[in-house]
A and B are shown apart, each in its own frame.
Chain A
Amino acid sequence: MPDKQEVRIDVSDGAAIPRKRDIGLFSAWWISLIGALGCIAYLCLAKPEPYLDILKFLPDGILVTFEVTILSILLALFLGLITGLGRISKNRTINLIASTYVEVVRGIPLLVQLFYIYFALGQVFSNLPNPADVAESMAAWPGIIVYVVVGVVGFLKDMPPLVAAVTAMGVCYGAYMGEVFRAGIESIDKGQTEAARSLGFNRRQTMFLVILPQAWRTILPPVGNEFIALLKDSSLVSILAVADLLRRGREFASVTFSYFEAYTMVALIYLVITLILSKGVSAMETRLNYYVRD
């Protein structure tokens, strides 16, 4: 009966997740990791200038890359859960809204979405009236509403690049995540819902106590993959003046003109990070199988 649980959601992007029995991938992982670390070590020792300088210059960018990635994935998970639930909802309107979101977002390249949210919407927002004027014109309104409106206007008027970046990436990946959640939820046998409902659990309790805890097993590995894909895609935000890993590399290069060296180090560091993360995802996957008899 529990064979049903073995459904696997395949998400093509992201680093390959090594599987226990997959010897080829397994050793490829080690070769890549040791190779990358070896290169970094060799370059820094053999030619500390500029490589060691670059290595010292980049960590701020790594932190920003992680910041963007983590904030974006949190937003994406939130949107993905809502979208996934919306996609399986029997309510036609909700279903349609969720499906349209997925269609629209999936049809627009991430880079275009980034530009759109930052530059296009930024331009619209920058034409908003000054917060001070808004406050004046709303004198008759209750204080709390004025406070919120003024706050939102002020925020949108000069949207920080990081917020634009996280919004665009979160909204984009939320659509993909919605599909992951939907597939994960649908992978759970209908009998589980029926058993829970027959005990007296309502829909929400059934979803959160019975279905989602089981769906995590199918959801988390692709979420891990999406996380890795998102981390790589986050290099796109360097265009919005977010000082991520790529942007830091570019800054270093444009000052010292050592493009080759800077981008070599940037590439190696991305590689090390994604390799380690992919190992983490596969470890997590193993752990999640705790209640399945082999």
Chain B
Amino acid sequence: MSATKPIVHVSNVFKYFGQLAALNNVSLDIYPGEKVVIIGPSGSGKSTLLRSINRLEEVDRGQIVVDGMDLYAKENDINAIRMELGMVFQSFNLFPHKTVMQNLTMAPIRLKKIPRPQAEDNARRLLKKVGILEKAGVYPTMLSGGQQQRVAIARALAMNPRVMLFDEPTSALDPEMIGEVLDVMVTLAREGMTMICVTHEMGFAREVADRVVFMDQGQILEVGTPEHFFEAPEHPRAKKFMEQIL
């Protein structure tokens, strides 16, 4: 893997909220096609790390490079970089004033200047993929949580991103809806999408993750395969955490 260039390069990143170091010297390289799952206790900085990668959070120190483009370089347009990074939020964040179809076509039409018919064709293809084509014409509030999250994934995919970022995509869902969202994510992983997922769904991690990253108190404490974490996590805090969630 190290022969190719990383598509996401995070090096020596610090992020402070007042006195609190939400990210404390974090470095992480993600390679094309890789699936990385980030785990760790609440407040450990997982969301902050993920949000730093598309600059929803401004870091205080360190470097973040996406697809060869430094997020903080003057000559790089952050909006163009963000088009390469799809993001899925815990709370879906669909646009409630737009139909499902419009949620998917808005950005491609406005930002990529894709003709409407083509954008709609693509949207239908994606909606079919996430199993929700029949809801194209309705407003998001008419959908269940699981359906909304699947639409949110499709919306991010509609921009044809190189990397998908997931921030606890299933933790706001009723238990019976978690499966349908994870299924979509597994399918996406099988298709070769580069994915960085903050999730505690260890079944998902075992199925698709190349690497699991354990964070605590703003630091990456341990990196390894899912099996490694199931069987023999080394760091005491990683061990304790795994005992708690399994």
Q: Which residues of A contact B (CB under 8 A)?
A: 1-2, 5, 189, 191-192, 194-202, 205, 209-210, 213-214, 291-293
Contact = CB atoms under 8 A, between A and B. Distances in A.
Which 5 residue pairs are nearest across A and B when measured between Cβ atoms?
A195-B93, A191-B93, A198-B87, A200-B83, A199-B107
B93 A197 contact: no
A205 B106 CA distance: 11
Contacts of B96: 2, 5, 214, 291-292
A193 to B, nearest CB: 9
B113 to A, nearest CB: 12
Interface residues of B, number: 29
Contact of B106 (A209, A291, A293): A209
Contact of B56 (A192, A194, A213): A194
20 contacts: A1-B91, A1-B172, A192-B93, A194-B87, A195-B87, A196-B95, A198-B56, A199-B82, A199-B106, A199-B155, A200-B79, A200-B82, A200-B107, A200-B111, A200-B159, A201-B79, A202-B79, A205-B110, A213-B97, A291-B139
A26 B91 CA distance: 38
B142 A197 contact: no
Contacts of A292: 96, 141
Contacts of A196: 95
Contact of A200 (B80, B141, B172): B80
A198 B155 CA distance: 11
A272 B148 CA distance: 46
A149 to B, nearest CB: 40
A2 B93 CA distance: 9
A5 B94 CA distance: 13
A61 to B, nearest CB: 40
B159 to A, nearest CB: 6
Nearest to B82: A200
Interface string B45-65: 000000000101000000000
A126 to B, nearest CB: 50
B156 interface: yes
A234 to B, nearest CB: 33
